[in-house]
Amino acid sequence: MRTPVILLNFKAYPEAMGPKAVALAKVAVEVSDRMGASIVVAPAATDIARVAHEVRIPVFAQHVDAVEAGARTGWVPPEAATAAGAAGTLLNHSERKVPRKDLEDLIPRCSALGLEVVACAGNLREAESIAGLSPEFIAIEPPELIGGGVSVTKAKPEIVSGAVERIHRANPKVDVLCGAGVKTGRDVSRAIELGAVGVLLATGVVKAKDPRKALTDLAKGLR
């Protein structure tokens, strides 16, 4: 995905399910076109295909399972996400943690399928450890700030700059995103000043009274 970037995670919010997922993704396309901003959307698994069919910005899965394709009822292997039109996937989000052995399996498999991986880490030690697995991106997101009113770039700027330093020291090929409480263009520009190449966010847009207005303000921070 083109950086700097805003990755909008729809999570399992009712405001972004089914037809509302398509509507929100179309708002992201409009803001992306108008602002020249790189915006990626991550709808629920059940909405990947319908969103990817409707929009031309990258669509990411929120998770994929470390199982082979085949007799795996109810599981979503990376091949299924690719077939649905996903360009990438989050992995190990603090709301959907993944065992280390699954990360070791999934990251190379996703890479071989052309699925970009944004591996999430809740702290610096985890971020540094995941860097050795060479995902394209690592997103540092302190769980206690997720969904809250204060951006990680304001509450814990040192965890963003620290993640950039330690991840790049462990693996210069990995780019860093940050997330948790990011809601304004200033939060986004601050993230970039701290060395991140983008942000992961959800409530600031999905739960906004006016998602288009909120996303437009956030996109100004990419400039």
- Nearest distance, CB of residue 198 and ligand G3P, angstroms: 11
Number of residues that bind ligand G3P (CB under 6 A): 14
Binding span for ligand G3P by CB under 6 A among 66-74, 155-163, 180-188, 214-222:
180-188
Q: How far is the CB of 78 from ligand G3P (least distance, A)?
A: 19
**Position 9 contacts ligand G3P (CB under 6 A):** yes
Catalytic residues: 93, 141
Nearest CA-CA partner of 199 in 156, 144, 151, 155: 151
Does position 141 interact with ligand G3P (CB under 6 A)? The reply is: yes
Q: Which of residues 77-116 bind ligand G3P (CB under 6 A)?
A: 93
Site string for ligand G3P, 42-81 (x = CB under 6 A): ----------------------------------------
Which residues bind to ligand G3P, rule: CB under 6 A?
9, 93, 141, 146-147, 179-182, 200-204
